[in-house]
Copies of this chain bind each other. A is one copy, B any other.
């Protein structure tokens, strides 16, 4: 991805001099040089009006491939502005895989219309994919692997291979006459072989396969771990329905990383850079609302110490320090555990030594920073006792943070809730409350009077 090309095109398209002639020149250049995914990135980088104007300039045969590459919110921003007859014309003749990608963004009756116009084979593929959930590999696998009946003569296979080898293919899949998977043949084994032989003579016994009901991200990891460029996707009954190749596996992995980045801020991976204001505001409000509740909860705990705060106002000044040191220390433990859970490394057996280690690390850092902060606070407010109070509160909060940083993600994982998404909110709620209560509580005990 050469991002400067996109930036440059955006600048030209948004410059004050951009007329439709400039637009069409920029687009023509991009269509020549760039892939559909680059053009998709460009469209996503444009505000709505310019996005639609640029889209109009695309040649008709590029429009659908570009839509497929766009994130859902952005492609929908275009689709819902189009005339339906025009869309029907664009989508007539697309294959099942393309339609599957855009299925959720198209109006129901348009979808039916397009399906009705597909040939029988594509219709069959489309409805076959619908039998799987959209997080199962059977829904998304590539339906055009190299498949031949096991009894095919080498001569025929070689002719086929010579004409066409799909990307990431280095094996031929063999099926019996009911379409059930029977094995694979590595194509390099065929060099110099007798063309009169049957291909099944070269079949490999235990080639790895993917279960059609497997989670797509797990399946992507399985393809990568196999060392093969693609793996066949098989139903429970043994039917070969397609394959997942390394190209798709790479895309899936990058989609997952993007969705985790976005989820950390309560955003959807499909969120559009230039979504309409109301839509953006609405989709972000939920996360703000959840955060408000946790913040109010913390405030309620602070409220318990109103009398103390009135007498020792230094406590109010310093209390965010106690809360935030706990939050940072806790998020370090949390992140380590979230990674461990994702890698499958955390179990009941190593939880105890892990807890011991993290508590020790917390205690060590807690004491270190307690001394530093205690000294700063003591000098700042000229009060040794205040320094002592904040020091003890810091140690307590960092140690609690270490314990929470382990138990919160482990519990969420047990409850089948993604700890990468919600772990951090829960953790900081805990460290805020523990920090405020420890600091203000100790302050009430030792500083009042």
Interfacial residues, chain A to chain B (CB-CB below 8 A):
1-4, 6-8, 10-11, 13-15, 35, 37, 41, 44-47, 158-159, 161-162, 164-165, 167-170, 186-192, 218, 221-222, 224-225, 227-229, 246-247, 249-251, 253-254, 256-258, 260-262, 264-267, 271, 273-275, 277-278, 280-281, 284-285, 287-289, 291-292, 294-296, 298-299, 302-303, 306, 309-310, 313-314, 316-321, 323-325, 328-329, 331-332, 334-336, 338-340, 343-350, 353-354, 357, 360-361, 364-365, 368-369, 372-373, 376, 380, 420, 432
Contact B357 A277 (CB under 8 A): yes
- Is B224's CB under 8 angstroms from A284's CB? no
Task: Point out the residue from B35, B192, B350 that lies within 8 Å of A225, measured CB to CB.
Answer: B35
Q: List residues of chain B with CB within 8 A of the CB of A257.
A: 253, 256-257, 260
Contact assessment for B323 and A320 in the assembled complex, using a CB-CB cutoff below 8 Å: yes
Are A170 and B165 in contact (CB-based, < 8 A)? Answer: yes
- How far is A323 from B295 in the complex, measured between Cα atoms in Å? 9
| This protein's copies in its complex | 2
Asked, given contacts A227-B247, A288-B369, A329-B288, whether A10 binds B273 with beta carbons under 8 Å apart, the answer is no
- Once the chains bind, are B317 and A261 in contact (CB under 8 Å)? no
* Docked pose: A343 CA to B258 CA in angstroms: 10
B344 and A3 contacting across the interface, CB-CB below 8 Å: yes
Q: Which of B10, B14, B343, B353 contacts A47 (CB 8 A)?
A: B353
Contact B228 A350 (CB under 8 A): no
The answer to whether A41 and B344 touch across the interface, beta carbons within 8 angstroms, is yes
Residues B360 and A277 in contact, CB atoms below 8 Å apart: yes
Q: How far is the CB of A345 from chain B (nearest CB, A)?
A: 4
Specify which of A289, A292, A298 lies most central, judged by the most chain B CB atoms within 10 Å of its CB.
Answer: A292
Q: Pick from B189, B221, B298: contact of A320, CB below 8 A.
A: B298
Task: Report whether A3 and B329 are in contact in the complex, using a CB–CB cutoff of 8 Å.
Answer: no
Q: Are B6 and A274 in contact (CB under 8 A)?
A: no
14 extra interface residue pairs, beta carbon distance < 8 Å, beyond A168-B229, A316-B319:
A7-B347, A41-B345, A257-B260, A261-B338, A261-B339, A265-B336, A271-B336, A273-B350, A274-B354, A299-B318, A303-B317, A309-B309, A309-B313, A316-B316
CB within 8 Å for A187 and B190 given contacts A296-B321, A335-B262, A347-B10: no
Complex CA distance for A274 and B316, rounded to whole angstroms: 38
- How far is the CB of A37 from the nearest CB of chain B, in Å? 7
CB distance from A107 to the nearest CB of B (A): 26
Residues of B within 8 Å of A161, CB to CB, are 188, 191
- CB-CB under 8 A from A346, the residues of chain B are 7, 45
- B6 pairs with A344, CB closer than 8 A: yes
Q: Is the CB of B432 within 8 A of A281?
A: no
Given A288-B325, A365-B281, are A339 and B35 also a contact pair (CB < 8 Å)?
Answer: no
Which B-chain residue is minimally distant from A12 (CB atoms)? B349
- Report if A295-B324 is in contact (Cβ < 8 Å); known contacts: A45-B347, A264-B335: yes
